[in-house]
Amino acid sequence: MYYSEIVVVGSLNMDIVIKVDNRPKIGETIHAEKVFYSCGGKGANQAYAAAKLGGEALLIGIVGNDDFGKTLMANLEQAKVNTESIHTAADATSGVAIITLDKTGENNIILGTGANGAVNKSYIQQNKEYIQNAKLLVIQLEVPLEAVKEAIQIAFDNQIPVLLDPAPAQKLPSDLLEKIDFITPNETELTKLTDVEVIDLDSAIEASKQLINKGVKNVFAKLGKEGVVVVNSDLTYFHIEGHIVEVKDTTSAGDAFAGALAKKLVDQVSLKEAAIFANEVAAMTVTKYGAQKSIPSLEELNSIENKSYKIMEG
């Protein structure tokens, strides 16, 4: 058994991406501009990003005994993700995501859970040693909530910090939120988690403070082109402006952000330095098509010319 610094619990999906000018109305048939397959799943994307950016990452998940499962595993291994804790289910298909991508780069996603649904409390228990020996647990909500709760409890009991990407968006109980050290919601997820409609920087800060009051220690609110605002447990905050880039596909930007943030957190850099790095990675990710294949390398990040960012504190 090989232990990794970053342990990710989550989903593996084959993304079937359909590029269109505009999405069809009910009952309407349209032609797609392009169709392609891309290895994805929020858990797999996060582990892939952390590993590609130089981190030591392991993924706990399940694939089906099919061609998609084999491809998903091979792609993770190519990025040096530890896959020894990924099980192949004989009686389930691999997860899939049907993604429509419009001309602005924005997407809609329909998830076919498949083998991801077998990541249950028992499966987490079978793999708990990986979590107990990690420096950071990264988790999201594309596997059953009972597994999410169990993994977080194991980490909490062993004083392992937890980074939660609360997607897909849903309400979460306070007894779970109070065990979260770092959370990375976008505007939609932040609205769902709180009583605040997040429409701008001020409302994002207000909603983030609500999460702090619910017990979360640090909130990294992702605001798309407006960058990221980080609110700490003492209710102070800083805002890092977004990058101006040509957006082609936003599919895995949030996962790239989480994986990059995880890498820097285990490196024990400041939260500001970690947020700047994750913001850069997410911005470069949206300039390419696909999920994992759009995540940049360290060499590509070093090609960014303007590394001077406007940072507002409060």
Task: Please list the active-site residues.
Answer: 255
Of the candidates 111, 112, 137, the one whose C-alpha atom is nearest the C-alpha of residue 124 is: 137
CA atoms lying within 13 Å on the CB side of residue 236? 7
d(CA 290, CA 280): 17
The SS3 of residue 111 is strand
Residue at 306: amino acid letter: N
Q: Which two tokens stand for residue 108?
A: 């809609």
Of the candidates 259, 288, 287, the one whose C-alpha atom is nearest the C-alpha of residue 274 is: 259
**Residue 49 burial (CB count, 10 A):** 33
Give the chain's radius of gyration (CA, Å).
Answer: 18
d(CA 43, CA 9): 6
The SS3 of residue 59 is strand
Report whether 288 contacts 294 (CB < 8 A).
yes
Place of tokens 């609360």: 166
